[in-house]
């Protein structure tokens, strides 16, 4: 079973920015907040990048397992095709063997060989009767009956053997039937071997698909973890941009205030200089400081 993703984003490390703080905090406080947002954003982006890489690795492993399963599927199907081919051949050969054995039975019936015992069995019975004759003490009547029985078995044996020896067609037919049956057995053995091998590939295919599903589940969870980290990084970036915008607004406001102060100071200096100049025109004596003020304003 694939290991499940547990490393979600630690929200306790996230940096919060309220509208009130954005509007009312001092410039120094906002600069500090911007630095915190930037650092957390960078950490989250790094986290998202690592998780995206892990997700991609897991997706690649999933594809490998699916490819492996597909290879087993193709091999299984190929083997099953061979199984069907050997089954068909086996069935054809068995049907042919049955026909040949039916022909053997027909010929045996024609030669009256289908009833009674085969030669080996008759030979064993004769030998058993002869052994009894040689080893047991029998009355004359019993020995006569035994001899007659032995002779009858010998005649039956000779008769069946003669018929068999005179029927080359029967033996050839039986041999052919047995050869065909043997060939059918070879195909049956092949069917069993190939079917077992096909089942092995089927089992490996199922296992590969199961592993692919487990890895895919892990990849999906890793993707969710990536999305969470990336969304958190984006939120921190947006807040960072808001703070930067606010700082620029404050900078503009301060610059405006400074410019206003400079303009006011110039107006005051100009008014004072004009007042001094008026005194100069009226003949009053000016000191050095008054002369310098007139020079600065261009009135002298």
Determine the Cα–Cα distance for residues 34 and 42; give it in Å rounded to an integer.
12
Per-residue model confidence as pLDDT tens digits over 16-66: 999 999 999 999 999 999 999 999 999 999 999 999 999 999 999 999 999
Nearest to 167 by CA among 119, 218, 228: 119
Token duo for residue 281: 């025109």
**Among the listed residues 118, 114, 91, 107, the one whose alpha carbon sits nearest the alpha carbon of residue 180:** 91
Q: Where are the alpha helices (DSSP H) in 111-167?
A: 119-135, 140-165
The predicted-structure confidence for 225-258, as pLDDT tens digits, reads as follows: 999 999 999 999 999 999 999 999 999 998 998 9
More confident residue, 210 or 4: 210
CB-based burial, 14-39: b 16+ in 10 Å, e otherwise: ebebeeeeeeebeeeebeebbebbbe
What's the pLDDT at 300? Answer: 63
pLDDT in the model for residue 4: 47
What pLDDT shows up at residue 280?
Answer: 73
Q: How does residue 270 score in pLDDT terms, banded at 50, 70 and 90?
A: confident
Look at residue 140 and give its three-state secondary structure.
Answer: helix
Choose between 82 and 109: higher pLDDT: 82
Average of per-residue pLDDT across 158-178: 77
Regarding pTM above 0.75, the answer is no
Distance CA 134, CA 32 (A): 126
> Range with the lowest mean pLDDT among 67-76, 161-170, 191-200, 274-283?
161-170
What is the DSSP secondary structure assignment for residue 116, as one 8-state letter? S
Residue 78 has pLDDT above 90, yes or no: yes
């Amino acid at each position: 079973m694939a290991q499940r993703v547990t490393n979600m984003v630690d929200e306790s490390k996230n940096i919060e920015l309220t509208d009130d703080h954005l509007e009312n905090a001092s410039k120094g406080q906002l600069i500090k907040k911007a630095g915190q947002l930037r650092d957390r954003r960078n950490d989250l982006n790094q986290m998202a990048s690592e998780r995206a890489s892990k997700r991609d690795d897991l997706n690649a492993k999933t594809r490998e397992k699916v490819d492996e399963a597909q290879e087993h599927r193709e091999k299984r199907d190929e083997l099953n095709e061979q199984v069907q081919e050997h089954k068909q051949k086996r069935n054809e050969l068995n049907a042919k063997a049955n026909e040949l054995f039916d022909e053997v039975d027909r010929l045996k019936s024609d030669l009256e060989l289908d009833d009674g015992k085969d030669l080996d069995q008759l030979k064993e019975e004769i030998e058993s009767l002869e052994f009894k004759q040689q080893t047991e003490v029998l009355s004359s009547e019993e020995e006569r009956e035994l001899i007659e029985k032995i002779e009858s078995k010998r005649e039956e044996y000779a008769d069946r053997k003669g018929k068999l020896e005179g029927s080359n067609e029967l033996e050839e037919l039986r041999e052919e039937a047995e050869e065909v049956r043997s060939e059918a057995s070879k195909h049956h053995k092949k069917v069993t071997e190939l079917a077992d091998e096909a089942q092995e590939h089927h089992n490996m295919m199922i296992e590969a698909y199961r592993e692919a599903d487990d890895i895919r589940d892990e990849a999906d969870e890793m993707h969710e973890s990536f999305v969470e980290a990336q969304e958190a990084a984006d939120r921190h970036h947006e807040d960072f941009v808001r703070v930067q915008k606010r700082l620029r607004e404050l900078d503009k406001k301060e610059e405006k205030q400074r410019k206003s102060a400079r303009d006011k100071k110039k107006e005051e200096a100009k008014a004072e200089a004009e007042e001094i100049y008026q005194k100069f025109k009226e003949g009053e004596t000016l000191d050095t400081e008054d002369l310098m003020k007139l020079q600065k304003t261009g009135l002298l």
